[in-house]
Amino acid sequence: MIQYVTLLSLIVAFLLLLGVIFALQRVAKTRPDGGVVGESGFTLEGYSYALILLAVVAAVGICYVLVRDTLWAGHLMEWMNIVVRLMHITFGIAWIGASFYFVFLENALNRTDNVRDELAGNLWAVHGGGFYYLEKYKLAPKQIPKSLHWFKYEAYFTWLSGFSLLFVVYYFNASSMLVDPRVLDISPLAGVGIGVGSFIAGWLIYDGLCRTELVRSKWFMVVGFAVATAFAYFYAEIFSARAAYIHFGAMLGTLMVGNVFFTIIPAQKAMVKAATEGTPLDPTLGKNALARSLHNNYMTLPVLFVMVSNHFPSTFSHAYPWAILAVITLGTAGVKHWLNLREKHQSNAWVLPGSVALLLAVVFVTAPKAETGTAAAACTEEIPMSRVNMIVQTRCVQCHSSSPTDDVFKSPPNGVVYDSPEDIIRLKDKIMQRVVVTKTMPQNNKTDMTQEERDILKCWIEQGAKNL
Ligand code: HEC
């Protein structure tokens, strides 16, 4: 019954969505100017798109509540995961692509050769079989053009879809994905509250710092990095390591979108308004917006790293995940700095090697350690398959079997199933990586696997993973 209700509500949500999109297209077609000019960026379209997204998120949320604890739950979660992730990546590419492009423009502008008085510079480019000529104004053109393109929805939707993904992956399953009792035994709801609250706190602290004189000095980077590291430490003390990583990235991502929403777009609106009304333009507005946009530029690579690292336990399984995060933030931001310098034709010999050295240091520090006494001791005799199978059957199949008994995972995670000894042998390399090296399985050690058992698995794999 419940499945049909869910299906029905999904269909209704989808039809609603189609209806709104159609209506919007009609509105767009019948508008005489066709573009967003002057006044605000808050157009009918803007509001409606945001509404659509919220409606979809709400519909999905309702569906989730409906299928909770049924056979459909795992299936729906996977599809939500796929769809929301795809949206997040697509919007993110559009946003960061445009952002990289404009920072490149700024860096590569020809500012001296044949530049008219009112211009800051220009740039010739060839792309997609066509020649382009762009000009940047020092302040604003004498007359604001009728159709002016704004870049903002990419940013907003990246954040909204990212925030939704945080719910799909971490918050809906907070007890198993977010909270790790070995780190801190908090209730799932408290975990979600701390996570969401930390984004607000992060923004308030960062925005506060940006309003001080510090923002004009080089020390801002140092203080900003220290604050970011403090956040990494805080997350690592509260959440499971993997969740700590994604929260660090999501917090930085929130600052980036906050910069667009609260500073850059309002500054641009004020500039357009002043230019339209012919009132004098406050040059600090543009400067502030440019500074924030540069901060965003430096945060991009660390955020991308965090998103990718979530799929690689060797990055977050270190004993001090916050330190790894801090060093990687420094290294990746350093690479971006080098790229920026290069675009400005300012070569700097040590920035790239320094950044790469930092990143290599992480590879080195996170490498598995040589064995301890017990591991060596377990290896003196040949380990029979029956012993290995027994360990896996007591510690893993709660989740990794064709019919899991775990309270959260109703279908085998990532399709990994250990129903037979052959399954175990086939997946031995992954077992080595997740159980022995990174110790990220069993998830949050929910099934209380002992170190001795890990040593036995290791030994068995090193002896050739034979089916004795
Ligand atoms: C409480 C449930 C749970 C238990 C118990 C558990 N796992 Fe997992 N396992 C997961 C989840 C969830 C994922 C997917 C997320 C991830 O990769 O961290 C996963 C992923 C994996 C992967 C990665 C598969 C891939 O495609 O990369 C391996 C390997 C794995 N588990 C092995 C094990 C082994 C071996 C055990 C027993 C020692 C075990 N797991 C116990 C929940 C569990």
**pLDDT tens figures, 74-115:** 777 788 889 889 999 999 999 999 988 998 898 899 999 888
pLDDT in the model for residue 39: 40
Nearest to 138 by CA among 152, 150, 122, 114: 122
Q: How far is the CA of 414 from the centre of ligand 1 (A)?
A: 8
Q: Residue 451, Cα to own-chain centre: how many angstroms?
A: 33
d(CA 461, CA 115): 68
Q: What pLDDT band is residue 371 in, cutting at 50, 70 and 90?
A: low
pLDDT in the model for residue 25: 61
**Residue 413 beta carbon below 6 angstroms from any ligand 1 atom:** yes
Instruction: Work out the percent of the chain whose per-residue pLDDT is above 90.
Output: 47
Which region among 40-49, 245-254, 304-313 has the lowest average model confidence (pLDDT)?
40-49
**Residue 399 beta carbon below 6 angstroms from any ligand 1 atom:** yes
- Determine contact, residues 277/143, Cβ cutoff 8 Å: no
At a CB cut-off of 8 Å and minimum separation 6, what does 181 contact?
444
pLDDT in the model for residue 123: 95
- Determine contact, residues 63/6, Cβ cutoff 8 Å: yes
Better-scored residue on pLDDT, 239 or 34? 239
**Residue 416 beta carbon below 6 angstroms from any ligand 1 atom:** yes
34: left (phi over 0), alpha (psi -120 to 50) or beta: left
Q: What pLDDT band is residue 37 in, cutting at 50, 70 and 90?
A: very low
Over residues 295-322, the mean pLDDT reads: 92
d(CA 176, CA 459): 29
Cis-peptide into 442, omega within 30 deg:
yes
CA dihedral 281, 283, 286, 290 (to 10 degrees): 170
pLDDT in the model for residue 164: 87
Q: What pLDDT band is residue 378 in, cutting at 50, 70 and 90?
A: low
pLDDT in the model for residue 26: 60
| Residue of minimum CA distance from atom 4 in ligand 1 | 442
Q: How far is the CA of 439 from the centre of ligand 1 (A)?
A: 10
pLDDT in the model for residue 382: 87
Q: Which atom of ligand 1 is nearest to the CA of 447?
A: 5
d(CA 455, CA 381): 13
Token pair belonging to 431: 């077992």
Asked whether residue 27 carries a pLDDT value surpassing 50, the answer given is yes
Asked whether residue 50 carries a pLDDT value surpassing 80, the answer given is no
**Residue 188 beta carbon below 6 angstroms from any ligand 1 atom:** no
Nearest to 354 by CA among 372, 335, 378, 381: 335
Q: From 180, 439, 443, 446, give the residue whose CB has the most ligand 1 atoms within 8 Å, as the site to mutate.
A: 443
Asked whether residue 197 carries a pLDDT value surpassing 70, the answer given is yes
- Determine contact, residues 241/317, Cβ cutoff 8 Å: yes
Nearest to 365 by CA among 410, 328, 311: 328
| Highest mean pLDDT (candidates 282-291, 300-309, 429-438) | 300-309
d(CA 354, CA 344): 19
Token pair belonging to 122: 């220009």
Asked whether residue 67 carries a pLDDT value surpassing 70, the answer given is yes
Asked whether residue 442 carries a pLDDT value surpassing 70, the answer given is yes
Neighbours of 326 (CB within 10 A): 21
Over residues 254-271, the mean pLDDT reads: 94
Q: From 441, 450, 453, 457, give the residue whose CB has the most ligand 1 atoms within 8 Å, as the site to mutate.
A: 441
pLDDT in the model for residue 466: 86
pLDDT in the model for residue 211: 92
d(CA 122, CA 145): 18
User: For the purposes of burial, counting CB atoms within 10 Å of the CB of 145, is it exposed (0-12), middle (13-18) or buried (19 or more)?
Assistant: exposed
Q: How far is the CA of 166 from the centre of ligand 1 (A)?
A: 20
- Determine contact, residues 417/434, Cβ cutoff 8 Å: no
Asked whether residue 241 carries a pLDDT value surpassing 60, the answer given is yes
d(CA 410, CA 417): 12
| Residue of minimum CA distance from atom 11 in ligand 1 | 413
For Cα atoms 320, 321, 327, give the angle at the middle one, nearest 5 degrees: 100
| Residue of minimum CA distance from atom 13 in ligand 1 | 413
| Highest mean pLDDT (candidates 70-84, 169-183, 246-260, 354-368) | 246-260
Asked whether residue 34 carries a pLDDT value surpassing 50, the answer given is no
Q: How far is the CA of 176 from the centre of ligand 1 (A)?
A: 12
Token pair belonging to 342: 């290069």
Over residues 271-298, the mean pLDDT reads: 88
Asked whether residue 35 carries a pLDDT value surpassing 50, the answer given is no
pLDDT in the model for residue 295: 93
Q: What is the amino acid identity at position 450?
A: T
pLDDT in the model for residue 187: 94
- Determine contact, residues 361/341, Cβ cutoff 8 Å: no
Better-scored residue on pLDDT, 42 or 441? 441
d(CA 221, CA 215): 8
At a CB cut-off of 8 Å and minimum separation 6, what does 381 contact?
none
Over residues 177-189, the mean pLDDT reads: 91
CA distances from 227 to 191, 203, 209, 248 (A): 21, 11, 10, 11
Asked whether residue 73 carries a pLDDT value surpassing 90, the answer given is no
- Determine contact, residues 457/395, Cβ cutoff 8 Å: no
- Determine contact, residues 456/463, Cβ cutoff 8 Å: no
d(CA 36, CA 149): 7
pLDDT in the model for residue 2: 61
pLDDT in the model for residue 41: 47
pLDDT in the model for residue 286: 83
| Residue of minimum CA distance from atom 6 in ligand 1 | 442
Over residues 413-440, the mean pLDDT reads: 89
Instruction: Work out the percent of the chain whose per-residue pLDDT is above 70.
Output: 90
- Residue corresponding to tokens 């990246």: 158
**Residue 449 beta carbon below 6 angstroms from any ligand 1 atom:** yes
What average pLDDT does the structure give for the chain? 86
Q: How far is the CA of 430 from the centre of ligand 1 (A)?
A: 9
**Residue 175 beta carbon below 6 angstroms from any ligand 1 atom:** no
Better-scored residue on pLDDT, 143 or 11? 143
**Residue 458 beta carbon below 6 angstroms from any ligand 1 atom:** no
**Residue 398 beta carbon below 6 angstroms from any ligand 1 atom:** yes
d(CA 13, CA 117): 54
Q: How far is the CA of 397 from the centre of ligand 1 (A)?
A: 9
Q: What pLDDT band is residue 32 in, cutting at 50, 70 and 90?
A: very low
Better-scored residue on pLDDT, 376 or 37? 376
CA distances from 390 to 77, 383, 419 (A): 31, 12, 11
pLDDT in the model for residue 412: 87
At a CB cut-off of 8 Å and minimum separation 6, what does 461 contact?
428, 429, 431, 432, 436
**Residue 414 beta carbon below 6 angstroms from any ligand 1 atom:** yes
**Residue 318 beta carbon below 6 angstroms from any ligand 1 atom:** no
d(CA 294, CA 256): 10
